[in-house]
């Protein structure tokens, strides 16, 4: 079993390193330095081992540290004061979420497919040691993270109890999934819940209990946690024994690692699946027409026929924002103590809105739909990449992306302004206008930004696989830039003005870049 575990580590390391080197080889300038025979060099094995060690350190400590910082430490700073009971309370509910959303065993991964399906390794010989490794790295990583971030608040044994609680509920979660599989005769895939509605409702409920109750000083007492911990630990040990003795892993993996799962889909299967899904949402009414001309006509027909694909996610996001806004509005009237908190939060929220808009904006989904249903065919034609046509179509598409994203954006901006007014208002009436305009400008920025990245770094190949490392890096940089900007302390008025001016300048620069560079870059990847 140990030998099989070491083999699995080598396989995971091999394809991870290959992906990294392939990605680097596709970077501008740097990629040309890497020779084609690099994989055959003896030094490659040394580099491979170093990358493996770095990756495992990052996975064990880096990710855990970031997780504890974002989901535990940052929320705690929003409360007036906190002690160890606050940490324990929030941590418990985060652990409960992880118990069914991050189990390792029910997560279909490439290494499982390579080793169990292709290399015919015994499923149990792979799953058991890797599950133990998963739990062990969780204990070590989270224990170190808790002690480093809360060394002056929590004792080492309390931190140890928390991480043991985590691995216990994960074991219980796996045992429960085994029970469901036997009872319902189904295969559990943690990436594809049977009911996404139930899945997200459960997560939201646990998050609300975890984060909202401490605001009213309602937390699980430390002594109660000790009792809960002992019970959970006993159940966890029993469940872990069930994991070790489970005798149907071969069948589980056979069903879980089928080709219709995305992670094992090859290019042709993936293309066929995506195309089939897209066609089901396309309107094929021959009566659809347009009064526009040229490529504006071409684009208008595309939008009308693919309206469901393009607008659905924006509609769902709008409804979600509206529901949250109504709930908060009702809470203001029934729980007056919330007024001051919501008022302060609304005034300080604007920088955070940039980070939120990164996730709300549907620009990436829209460009993906444009490629799958239009560009992957049209890019074979040279005329389609001529500067005038590229710029003309870019402008039409930009209008569409902006308009689609304005639907949830305007609702969000008005909701925030109304909540600010209901919770006591502001001494500067201009803040209402600035909040609305700046949030709209953020939406316009992301609409432009996503479309510009798509045109300048077109990331897809004919198989609809993402092949641009530069595009991935640009997306990561955008994410972290938004995060750090959201941490800047600045008045709503000043931040809003800066945001509006920035978007105007960015729009002008984007048109210049598209006209001059898109004809060369807007093409299919190899």
Residues 93-114 have pLDDT tens digits of 999 999 999 998 998 887 888 8
SS3 assignment, position 525: strand
Instruction: Write down the pLDDT at residue 32.
Output: 63
Q: Give alpha helix (H) positions in 103-221.
A: 110-112, 123-149, 156-184, 196-212
Whole-angstrom Cα Rg for the chain = 26
Residue 371 DSSP one-character state: I
Report if pTM > 0.75.
no
pLDDT value at residue 263: 43
Distance of CA 357 to the CA centre of its chain: 13
Torsion of CA 216, 219, 221, 225, to 10 degrees: 180
Give pLDDT, residue 41: 62
Cα 53 to the center of its chain, rounded Å: 25
Helices 387-422/363-370 angle, 10° precision: 150
204-217 confidence digits (pLDDT tens):
899 889 988 888 88
Catalogue the long-range contacts made by 391-395 (C-beta closer than 8 Å, 24 or more residues apart). 391/511, 391/514, 391/515, 391/518, 392/294, 392/295, 392/296, 393/295, 393/298, 393/299, 394/451, 394/455, 394/511, 394/514, 394/518, 395/511
φ, ψ for residue 267 (rounded to 5)? -60, -45
3-state helix, strand, coil in the chain (%, to 5): 80, 0, 20
d(CA 103, CA 177): 10
Under a CB-based contact definition with an 8 Å cutoff, are residues 112 and 189 in contact? no
Exposed e or buried b for every residue in 28-60, given b needs 16+ CB within 10 A? eeeeeeeeeeeeeeeeeeeebeeebeebeeeeb
d(CA 450, CA 361): 9
- Measured from the Cβ of residue 148, the count of other Cβ atoms closer than 10 Å reads 13
**Domain-by-domain residue ranges, the chain?**
60-264, 284-521
Contact 442, 499 (CB under 8 A): yes
CA dist 526 and 513 (Å) reads 23
Contact 89, 219 (CB under 8 A): yes
Beta bridge partners of 390: none
| Of 5, 247, 7, 13, the residue nearest 132 (C-alpha) | 5
Nearest Cα to Cα of residue 396 among 362, 365, 361, 370? 370
Ranges in the chain, pLDDT < 50: 262-270, 273
CA atoms within 13 A of residue 126's CA, in its CB half-sphere:
28
Q: How far apart are CA 446 and CA 452, in angstroms?
A: 10
Under a CB-based contact definition with an 8 Å cutoff, are residues 267 and 259 in contact? no
CB-based contact 482:358 (threshold 8 Å)? yes
Residue of 173, 167, 146 lying closest to 87 (CA atoms): 146
- Answer yes or no: are the C-beta atoms of 412 and 360 closer than 8 Å: yes
DSSP 326-383: HHHHHHHHH-TTHHHHHHHHHHH-HHHHHHHHHHH--HHHHHHHHIIIIIHHHTTSGG
pLDDT at 223: 95
The values of phi and psi at residue 525, to 5°, are: -80, 155
């Amino acid at each position: 079993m140990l030998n099989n575990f070491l083999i699995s580590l080598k396989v995971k390391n091999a394809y991870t390193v290959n992906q990294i080197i392939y990605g680097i080889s596709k970077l501008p300038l740097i990629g040309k330095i890497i020779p084609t025979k690099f994989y055959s060099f003896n030094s490659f094995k040394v580099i491979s081992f170093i990358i493996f060690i770095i990756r495992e350190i990052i996975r064990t400590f880096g990710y855990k540290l970031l997780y504890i910082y974002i989901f535990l430490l940052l929320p705690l700073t929003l409360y007036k004061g906190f002690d160890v009971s606050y940490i324990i309370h929030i941590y418990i509910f985060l652990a409960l979420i992880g118990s069914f959303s991050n189990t390792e065993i029910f997560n279909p991964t490439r290494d499982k497919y390579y080793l169990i399906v292709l290399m015919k390794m015994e499923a149990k010989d792979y799953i058991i040691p890797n599950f133990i490794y998963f739990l062990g790295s969780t204990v070590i990583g989270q224990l170190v993270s808790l002690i480093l971030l809360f060394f002056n608040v929590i004792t080492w044994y309390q931190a140890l109890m928390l991480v043991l609680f985590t691995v216990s509920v994960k074991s219980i979660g796996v045992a429960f999934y085994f029970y469901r599989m036997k009872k319902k005769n189904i295969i559990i895939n943690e990436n594809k819940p049977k009911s996404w509605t139930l899945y997200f409702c459960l997560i939201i409920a646990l998050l609300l209990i975890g984060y909202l109750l401490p605001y009213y000083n309602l937390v699980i007492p430390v002594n109660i946690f000790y009792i809960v911990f002992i019970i959970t630990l006993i159940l966890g040990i029993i469940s872990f024994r069930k994991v070790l003795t489970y005798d149907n892993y071969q069948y589980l993996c056979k069903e879980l690692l089928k080709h219709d799962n995305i992670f094992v889909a090859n290019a042709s299967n993936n293309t066929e699946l995506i195309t089939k899904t897209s066609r089901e949402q396309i309107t094929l009414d021959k009566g659809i027409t347009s009064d526009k001309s040229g490529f504006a006509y071409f684009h208008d027909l595309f939008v009308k026929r693919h309206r469901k694909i393009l607008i659905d996610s924006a509609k769902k996001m709008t409804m979600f924002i509206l529901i949250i806004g109504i709930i908060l509005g009702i809470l203001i009237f029934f729980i007056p103590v919330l007024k001051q908190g919501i008022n302060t939060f609304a005034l300080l929220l604007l920088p955070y809105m940039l980070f939120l808009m990164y996730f709300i904006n549907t620009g990436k989904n829209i460009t993906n739909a444009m490629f799958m249903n239009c560009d992957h065919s049209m890019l074979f034609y040279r005329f389609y990449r001529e500067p005038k046509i590229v710029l003309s179509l870019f402008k039409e598409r930009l209008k569409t992306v902006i308009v689609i994203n304005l639907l949830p954006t305007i609702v969000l901006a008005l909701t925030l302004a109304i909540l600010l007014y209901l919770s006591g208002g502001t001494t500067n009436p201009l803040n209402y206008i600035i909040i609305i305009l700046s949030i709209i400008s953020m939406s316009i920025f992301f609409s432009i930004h996503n479309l510009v990245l798509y045109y300048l770094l077109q990331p897809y190949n004919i198989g609809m696989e993402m092949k641009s490392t530069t595009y991935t890096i640009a997306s990561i940089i955008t994410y972290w830039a938004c995060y750090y900007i959201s941490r800047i302390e600045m008045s709503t008025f000043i931040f809003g003005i800066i945001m509006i001016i920035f978007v105007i300048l960015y729009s002008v620069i984007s048109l210049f870049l598209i006209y001059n560079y898109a004809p060369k870059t807007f093409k299919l990847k190899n």
